[in-house]
Amino acid sequence: MKLLFDSLDSMLTELRDRKVTVVRISPAIEREGGARTGGIPHLTSRVIITAAVEDHLWAEWRHWVGRAVAEVSERRLHLPVTLQRKGNEALATISRRVDDAGFEIREGILAHDTALMDTFRLPAVSLPFTPDRQVGGPGAGGGKHR
């Protein structure tokens, strides 16, 4: 089960009260398309913060960074530079706040084993967004770090 929070401060207070020491922070990109976007692919950037509270309970807060029309090349969709910059700044600011609050920071996202994240991609620093790859697959930014 997931505890959702309206603010990072309330989440960190709850985690501190429950003696949680590790927080996971990850950027995530959601691809939107279809009739809602007029067939033009849009990318929404978020920073997702999760923490294990108990065996089957975790806390989550999502920071909405922004949404933009995807830049389209011959083979891929790309996150616009301005949205990428805003996402990097948000990630740095949130990481600093979590670190200043005394928590250990790790990469990744905690999710239920039946969670559906087919439109989310974990962006890699140097790899473009590719909508045809599964989460964690090559080019999706997931998987093992080198």
Q: Binning pLDDT at 50, 70 and 90, where does residue 7 land?
A: very high
Residues 5-10: what's their mean pLDDT? 96
- Give me the residues paired with residue 26 across strands: 48
pLDDT one-digit tens code per residue, 44-97: 999 999 999 998 899 999 999 999 998 888 888 888 999 999 999 999 999 999
Question: Looking at 20-34, 56-70, 126-140, which range is the least confident one?
Answer: 126-140
Q: How many domains does the chain have?
A: 1
Mean pLDDT over each residue of the chain, to the nearest integer: 80
- Identify whether the C-beta of residue 48 lies closer than 8 Å to the C-beta of residue 62: yes
As a whole number of Å, the CA-based R_g of the chain is 16
Residue at 133 is within a domain: no
Judged on CB neighbours under 10 Å (0-12, 13-18, 19+), 97 is middle
Query: Which residue type, as a one-letter code, is found at position 138?
Result: P
Residue at 134 is within a domain: no
Q: What pTM value is reported for the model?
A: 0.74
Residues 13-36: what's their mean pLDDT? 91
Residue at 42 is within a domain: yes
Residue at 142 is within a domain: no
Closest CA to 109 of 43, 27, 31, 16: 27
Residue at 30 is within a domain: yes
Residue at 130 is within a domain: no
**pLDDT score of 104:** 97
- Give me the residues paired with residue 120 across strands: 30
Write the CB contacts of 122 (distance below 8 Å, at least 6 apart in sequence).
26, 27, 28, 29, 109, 135, 136, 140, 141, 142
DSSP code for 36: G
Share above pLDDT 90 across residues of the chain, in percent, rounded to a whole number = 52
Q: Where are the beta strands (DSSP E) in 19-139?
A: 22-32, 42-54, 57-69, 71-72, 77-78, 104-107, 120-121
Residues 96-115: what's their mean pLDDT? 86
Residue 69 tokens read as 């029309």
* Domain with 8 in it: 2-121
**pLDDT score of 133:** 38
Residues 128-133: what's their mean pLDDT? 40
Residues 6-25: what's their mean pLDDT? 97
